[in-house]
Amino acid sequence: MTDTPPRVRLISTGSEITQGMYADSNAQRLSVILFDKGFRVVGHAAAPDDFDTILAAIEDAAPRADLVIMTGGLGPTEDDLNRDVISRWCNQPLVENREAEAMIRERFRKRGREMPPDNARQAFIPREATILLNHWGTAPGFLVPAAEHRPALLALPGPSSEWMPMLAESLGGPLHAAFPHRPRRSIYSMHLAMVPESTINGRIRDLFANQPGCELTILASRGHIRLRIAATGPRDDENQANTRRLRDLLATRLGEPFLFAEGPGDQTLAAALVALFRQHQKTLATAESCTGGWIAKELTDVAGSSQVIKSGWVTYSNDAKIRDLTVSPAILGAHGAVSEPVVRAMAEGARAKSGADYAVAVSGIAGPDGGSYDKPVGTVWFAVASPSGTFAARRLLGGDRESVRSFATIQALEFLRRALLNIDPQATIT
């Protein structure tokens, strides 16, 4: 075992990628799998269906990699060029693999068809390559072994339904034989909600460097921060010890109450919240205006949420707030729908009508229109009604309409989490 991961460069081929018709999802999926298996992806590239451009992409990647992996370009049509390009690059003629040809022919026979002549070309691979038979499609893959001044090259078909099981088989076969000494990997994630990325960075900036065996990354999405610890080493127990040490440092710097989830897998705030409510045997209800049901959707997307959620209302109009949540017309007239008194009344009305232990309410101005000097676009009021009373808070959220609604959803879920755990809802990381 070694602590130096083999370097991998990925090349995705297809004009549909370079023309922007499809995202390069193969590179993303491959990177996740390879990292977990002890490789280090050091570059992504995409090339159109052009012989010289594909060859140039290989020649550019090869000097800086121990393994080049290519996806696509192994089909039966004129623009499927990877076999011929790779043959030129490794200076090996293409030879027919009889077993692969028989598999392709049999696949068509099972469909009640004769194999078209053009499909026969898919059975040709470079002379010294190891065939990777395709049990999920027609195009086999192959592994060209490394040679002097040349890395190994793995050619895979484009569809993920074909290359993913093919890669899994090769990782236990020819690819493992080519790279048997790879380090072990351990991934651990810590999740926070509605905390600025820059604030977190200021608290932990010195922990990004000089952490033996660990690599720390901040991943930010709307309202969600994920701290990802990747431990790399020859032994699992050493990786776990290194992970625990860095995890404890991070938790001390940031504060345990701000972590809504942690562990080896990914986690959403909604899933963590449903688990908490189930653990505490409590129920909740939602009352939404500007989020339009987004909070309820996030929660009901989680399996098992039926044990937690009592009811949900989307009361977009004032009439609906009055009719469904018993909000007083006088309060609406005096303060407007986007106000503390109204959002408090919404939460308390939802809790009373549903019989839930907790209720969260949201009312705001998502834009792009409807703002004023006192209540600009992005103004959102939140309230949580609980057995101990009702809490309300105002936030000014940035971005376009979708961003405001998304941030508001995450903030509402975080206020619910804090209410359930008796954590100060206004506490912040400083």
Overall fold of domain 7-178: Molybdenum Cofactor Biosythetic Enzyme; Chain A (3.40.980)
CA distance 325 to 347: 8
Which residues of the chain are in CATH 3.90.950.20 domains?
Answer: 271-421
CA distance 40 to 38: 7
pLDDT of 2 reads 53
Q: Is residue 396 over pLDDT 90?
A: yes
Q: What is the CATH number of domain 184-263?
A: 3.30.70.2860
**pTM for the complete prediction?**
0.85
Per the prediction, the chain carries an average pLDDT of: 95
Res 1: pLDDT: 46
- Is residue 281's pLDDT more than 90? yes
For CATH 3.40.980.10, the residue range(s) in the chain are: 7-178
Contact predicate 170/152, CB 8 Å: no
Q: Locate the DSSP E strands across 14-151.
A: 40-47, 67-71, 94-96, 124-126, 130-132, 141-144
Within 8 A by CB and 6+ apart from 69, the residues are: 8, 9, 10, 11, 30, 34, 153, 154, 156
What are the start and end residues of each CATH 3.30.70.2860 domain in the chain? 184-263
Confidence of residue 3 (pLDDT cuts 50, 70, 90): low
Band (303; pLDDT cuts 50, 70, 90): very high
CA distances from 24 to 33, 76, 171, 314 (A): 15, 21, 22, 38
Superfamily of domain 271-421: CinA-like (3.90.950.20)
Q: What is the pLDDT of residues 334-377, one digit of tens each?
A: 999 999 999 999 999 999 999 999 999 999 999 999 999 999 99
Question: What confidence score (pLDDT) does residue 210 get?
Answer: 78
What is the tens place of the pLDDT at every residue in 41-86? 999 999 999 999 999 999 999 999 999 999 999 999 999 999 999 9
State residue 430's pLDDT score.
80
Q: How far apart are CA 85 and CA 54, in angstroms?
A: 7
